[in-house]
């Protein structure tokens, strides 16, 4: 059984992350805006020079995006954007690979702002597993909820039944230089319209971080929150399928293979 406290020491023992109850984020949204990015194990393994992740990142992203996100993470405004980190993927891996996680945490320290205490990168998955995520969804039901992600996330409209819902589809190639600016411009057109809005983004940690950062500082609407919710929202997509085209890339498999979704706590 996984137990979650207000703070959690990552598996390598070097970094303490903030792991609050979901009411913490609900309170932020109710009082103003939440800007949330997360960098999990894949990003840190890429920065550590692991061959698998070097190949995968270079297949999906161009050098300009990678370089810009490195700069965003290193110089993030601690008082404005919440940054969350983790050295694992599935939650049950916490503490099981201490040597590898220690190496990743050393990389994290070098690439984060000095003396920065991040939030827990798997926190939205945690809320799903604890069956607490509905509290957050209930909180934002009077907002316009914009879900950004691949085609399977269309299912959220029927499973979560937000009162005011919009799905904005992106694609496997959307983080590329010639496409990501158009995605940003399209989302800014949505964000800049009057009214309270919550953007729930699933675009891979690198592209999602880039989007949250630029949306936060370029939108004219001060009633928007931008959240990289990641694959936690897949729990509300019953089929969780990806197209044959995406499978051929060698990057994506069916989401049912994410072990954390069947974790009992």
Handedness of CA 45, 48, 52, 56 (dihedral sign): positive
Q: Cα(117)–Cα(115) distance, rounded to whole angstroms?
A: 7
- pLDDT tens string, the chain, 265 residues long: the values are 344 457 777 766 788 899 999 999 999 999 999 999 999 888 999 999 988 889 888 888 999 999 999 999 999 998 899 999 987 655 555 555 566 778 888 999 999 999 889 999 989 988 988 889 999 999 999 999 999 999 989 999 999 999 999 999 999 889 988 899 999 999 999 999 999 999 999 998 999 999 999 999 999 999 999 999 998 998 898 776 555 554 554 544 444 445 444 443 3
pLDDT digits (tens, 9 = 90+) for 54-94: 988 888 899 999 999 999 999 999 889 999 998 765 555 55
Strands in 16-18's sheet, in edge-to-edge order, are 7-9, 16-18, 119-120, 82-85, 35-39, 224-228, 197-201, 144-149, 165-169
Handedness of CA 175, 71, 47, 38 (dihedral sign): negative
Map out the domains of the chain as residue ranges. Answer: 7-262
Q: What is the pTM of this model?
A: 0.88
């Amino acid at each position: 059984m996984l137990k979650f406290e207000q703070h959690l020491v990552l598996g390598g023992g070097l970094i303490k992350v903030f792991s609050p109850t979901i009411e913490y984020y609900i309170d932020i949204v109710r009082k103003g805006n939440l800007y949330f990015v997360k960098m999990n194990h894949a990003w840190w393994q890429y920065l550590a020079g692991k061959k698998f992740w070097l190949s995968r990142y270079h297949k999906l992203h161009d050098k300009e995006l990678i370089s810009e996100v490195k700069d965003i993470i290193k110089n993030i405004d601690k008082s404005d954007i919440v940054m969350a980190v983790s050295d694992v993927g599935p939650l049950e891996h916490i503490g099981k690979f201490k040597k590898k996680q220690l190496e990743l945490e050393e990389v994290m320290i070098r690439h984060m702002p000095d003396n920065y205490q991040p939030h827990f990168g798997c926190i939205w998955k945690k809320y799903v597993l604890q069956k607490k995520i509905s509290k957050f969804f209930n909180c934002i039901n009077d907002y316009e909820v914009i879900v950004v992600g691949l085609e399977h996330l269309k299912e959220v409209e029927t499973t979560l039944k937000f009162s005011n819902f919009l799905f904005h589809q992106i694609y496997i190639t959307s983080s590329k230089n010639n496409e990501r600016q158009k995605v940003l411009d399209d989302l800014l057109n949505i964000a800049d319209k009057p009214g309270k809005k919550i953007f729930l983004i699933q675009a891979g940690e690198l592209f999602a971080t880039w989007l949250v950062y630029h949306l936060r500082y370029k939108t004219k609407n001060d009633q928007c929150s931008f959240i990289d919710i990641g694959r936690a929202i897949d729990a509300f997509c019953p089929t969780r399928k990806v197209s044959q085209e995406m499978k051929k890339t060698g990057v994506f498999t069916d989401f049912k293979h994410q072990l954390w979704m069947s974790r009992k706590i």
